[in-house]
Amino acid sequence: MRKYLLRRALFGLSTLLGVSLIVFVVLRILPGDPLVAMFGIEGFAKLAPADRAHIMEDLGLSDPLPLQYVRWMRDIASGSLGRSFFRGDKVSELILHRGPISAEIGLMSVLISWLIGLPIGIVSAFRPNSLSDNVARTMSVLFLAIPGFWLGMLIVLAALFWFNYKAPLVVVQLWQDPWTNLQLVIGPALVLGLGQGAYIARMSRSCLLEVIREDYVRTARAKGLQEALVVMRHALPNALLPVVTLSGILMGFVLGGSVAVEQAFGVPGLGRSLVVAVIERDTIVVQNLVLLYSVIFVFVNVAVDLSYAWLDPRIHYR
Amino acid sequence: MRAAARRGAGAPPVARELAAFTRRNPLAAAGGLVGFLIVVMALTAPLIAPSDPLKADFRRMAKPPDAHSFFGTDQVGRDTLSRVIYGSRSSLVVAFASVLLGTTVGSLWGVASGYLGGRFDLVSQRITEVLQSFPDLILAMAISMAIGTGMPAVIIAIAVTRIPFGNRVIRSVALTVRELSYVEAARAAGSSEPRVMFHHVLPQCVAPYLVLATAHLGVAIIIEAALGFLGVGIPPPTPTWGNMLADSLTSLVPRWWLVFFPGLAITVTVLAFNLFGDGVRDTLDPRLAPAFLRMLTGGRRA
């Protein structure tokens, strides 16, 4: 087990090394001059070549690429992650300031997706083709097609029209003011949770339908167990494994989707910072945030893989 | 069954196939029809749009839907209905082009790595793993930031996010086909490796390729809209559904029609393509069902 853990961790680390290389290469080698973005095309034309060189020097962009990469890795190792081109802030401070809100949104959305998706999947699987099954399936097909950020915008509009309610839009951490913080994160979490919930419902339905045909479920029924016990104790645990995997893969949907959904709600989370940095061509911020999102994605999926041994005693790692 | 066969007997084969498809998958056929109508709408946009999507009209700014403009007008008086109709053009072009590009590149890569195996396969799998470690939208954002705005940039950005799916699914097909006896026979008969790969293995990958391509159209449309919404897609004033949603955020007074209609267009289009894609999958490869989930989990233990 320990050996497997080590191997899996090394594998994840090497993947992330590849990720950092791709991010770096994409943002440096491909065209797109940060100075043009900083000063505009006209401002850029007015700059004397010496000034251009000087500013590039200041930003550390005129060094050879391998040196820049090594410097980035050093900044990561030191924990500061480098500085934003525009505001000179440390990226690590930006992440500490805005990250918690996005993390809350992500965690809460996963929770919501399970709370909504699993019961719907169970009901659907045990009454296939009933009215509730059909309603649930239609809803899940529909929610796969609705873009989360649009749903978010509609919710904001509806709250404003009908209740004249506007969510607070400043950074308020959970430990500062839980109630305001909740109002900030509940909208995005709900939208992302519904989107994932649609997948979870479909997956748990189809997995349960496979499991309840098994002999041991029939045995459980034959010995006179209540239907609820058959589901909760016998069928569900075996059907859950693929659903857990799916939830890990959906993390990509959450991380990417949260960027657009935060924008729709106007929540000042990490996603908003990423969007602003992309538009401002703040390369240092973008490379760190993209790497951070990928680190989380990879980490969650490694954790999902490892949780198998705990969820399914039949699996042994060597 | 026999009555149906008789009814379709005189019809040309394509019509008969379509009729059979509709009988088996009414929902998918409806999705296909709606998708087809949206394509027609995009092609004939200049004919059916009530007015010029770029023409500002300062006498009619931010008007709610009325008899004159069914979907209302935006902050500078442009007709929302016309903009939604024209918006379908960029959405569809980007979706078709990026899915075609991404799935084709991924599939060819997948055939090669599945068939050739060895070190090439090992390296390919590692690269795929790395590409799949980015959340789709974030990778697309980074790429379109790097290569600049505009339609080609958006197409390439979305295509890159589709490559790993094509690669993984088609690789697994190629791995199976490689072991079949007719491929062995071809090799024994002295066919060269490229010939076996292109003439004997590749044709077996066409059906999964089509399934993959149709399954990803909807996702591509959503990513395109999200990029436009975040201001890193096709630059304004080109009307795209994402841009229109982004525009609606700039007005201080929220106007529901500027939010509702573009988003509705996205949802209807994605829904149509998703339903059609499910039908195509059931028809071409029933083993794959429920494939959209297996595709998501593609290659992982599940």
CA distance A79 to chain B (A): 22
Domain contains B116: yes
Please give the mean pLDDT across all residues of chain B.
Answer: 83
pLDDT at res. A146: 92
Domain contains B169: yes
* Range scoring the smallest mean pLDDT among A87-96, A267-276, B239-248, B272-281: A87-96
Q: Model confidence at A116, in pLDDT bands (50, 70, 90)?
A: very high
- Report pLDDT digits (tens) over A41-68: 667 777 777 777 777 777 767 777 888 8
Asked if B130's CB is within 8 angstroms of A15's CB, the reply is yes
| Residue A230 clears pLDDT 70, i.e. is over it | yes
Asked if A241's CB is within 8 angstroms of B135's CB, the reply is no
Nearest to A241 by CA among A150, A166, A312: A312
Q: Model confidence at B199, in pLDDT bands (50, 70, 90)?
A: confident
Residue in the block written with tokens 């500013």: A55
Mean pLDDT confidence for A255-271: 90
What is the residue range of B82's domain?
A: 71-296
Asked if B267's CB is within 8 angstroms of A150's CB, the reply is yes
Domain contains B77: yes
Asked if B248's CB is within 8 angstroms of A19's CB, the reply is no
Q: What CATH number is given to the structural domain containing B283?
A: 1.10.3720.10
Q: Model confidence at B295, in pLDDT bands (50, 70, 90)?
A: very low
Chain A stretch 65-124, residues whose beta carbon is closer than 8 A to a beta carbon of chain B: none
Domain contains B258: yes
Determine contact, residues A252/B136, Cβ cutoff 8 Å: yes
Mean pLDDT confidence for A123-144: 83
pTM: 0.87
- Shortest CB distance from B267 goes to which of A146, A199, A246? A146
Q: Give the Å distances, CA to CA, from A306 to A15, B113, B155, B226, B254.
A: 17, 28, 37, 33, 47
Report ipTM for this prediction.
0.86
Chain A residues whose CB is inside 8 A of the B229 CB are 149, 260, 263-264
The total domain count for chain B is: 1
Collapse the DSSP code of B290 into the 3-class scheme (helix H, G, I; strand E, B; otherwise coil) and give the result. coil
pLDDT at res. B256: 86
Domains within chain A, CATH numbers bracketed: 2-78 (no CATH), 91-311 (1.10.3720.10)
Residue in the block written with tokens 């509702």: B260
| Residue B92 clears pLDDT 90, i.e. is over it | yes
Mean pLDDT confidence for A215-222: 86
Chain A residues whose CB is inside 8 A of the B257 CB are none
> In chain B, which residue's Cα lies nearest the Cα of A262?
B230
Asked if B146's CB is within 8 angstroms of A142's CB, the reply is no
* Range scoring the smallest mean pLDDT among A30-39, A197-206, B98-107: A30-39
Mean pLDDT confidence for B69-91: 84
CA distance B70 to chain A (A): 19
Please provide the size of chain B in residues.
302
pLDDT at res. A38: 65
Asked if B127's CB is within 8 angstroms of A278's CB, the reply is no
Determine contact, residues A186/A261, Cβ cutoff 8 Å: no
Asked if B259's CB is within 8 angstroms of A249's CB, the reply is no
Distance CA B225, CA A171 (A): 27
Domain contains B65: no
CB of A309 less than 8 A from some CB of B: no
- Report pLDDT digits (tens) over B143-158: 888 887 789 999 999 9
pLDDT at res. B299: 34
DSSP letters, A256-285, are: HHHHHHHHHHT--SHHHHHHHHHHHT-HHH
Q: What is the biggest distance separating any 2 CA atoms in chain B, rounded to whole angstroms?
A: 78
CA distance B61 to chain A (A): 20
Please give the mean pLDDT across all residues of chain A.
Answer: 83
| Residue A199 clears pLDDT 70, i.e. is over it | yes
Mean pLDDT confidence for A56-85: 78
Domain contains B46: no
pLDDT at res. A312: 74
Distance CA B45, CA A235 (A): 53
Rounded to 5 degrees, what are φ and ψ at A83? -120, 150
> In chain A, which residue's Cα lies nearest the Cα of B125?
A15
Domain contains B80: yes
Chain B residues whose CB is inside 8 A of the A245 CB are 297, 300-302
CA distance A162 to chain B (A): 12
| Residue B296 clears pLDDT 60, i.e. is over it | no
The residues, ordered by sequence, that sit 6+ positions from A158 with a Cβ below 8 Å of its Cβ are none
Which two tokens mark B138? 């974030």
pLDDT at res. B262: 93
CA distance A224 to chain B (A): 31
Determine contact, residues B114/B174, Cβ cutoff 8 Å: yes
The residues, ordered by sequence, that sit 6+ positions from A257 with a Cβ below 8 Å of its Cβ are A148, A149, A192, A195, B137
Chain B residues whose CB is inside 8 A of the A286 CB are 142, 145
The percent of residues in chain A predicted with pLDDT above 90, rounded, is 19
Determine contact, residues B241/B228, Cβ cutoff 8 Å: yes
Chain A residues whose CB is inside 8 A of the B141 CB are 259, 274-275, 278
Chain B residues whose CB is inside 8 A of the A167 CB are none
Chain A stretch 179-238, residues whose beta carbon is closer than 8 A to a beta carbon of chain B: 199, 202-203, 206
pLDDT at res. B104: 94
Chain B residues whose CB is inside 8 A of the A239 CB are none
Mean pLDDT confidence for A241-249: 86
| Residue B294 clears pLDDT 60, i.e. is over it | no
Helix residue ranges per DSSP H, A47-129: 49-59, 65-78, 91-126
> In chain B, which residue's Cα lies nearest the Cα of A278?
B145
pLDDT at res. A31: 56
Domain contains B174: yes
CB of A32 less than 8 A from some CB of B: yes
pLDDT at res. A36: 67
- Report pLDDT digits (tens) over B163-195: 999 898 889 888 888 888 888 888 888 888 888
The b-or-e profile of B61-71 (16+ CB within 10 A means b, else e) is eebebeeebeb
| Residue B285 clears pLDDT 70, i.e. is over it | no
Distance CA A316, CA B89 (A): 53
pLDDT at res. B110: 92
- Report pLDDT digits (tens) over B95-126: 999 999 999 999 999 999 988 888 999 999 99
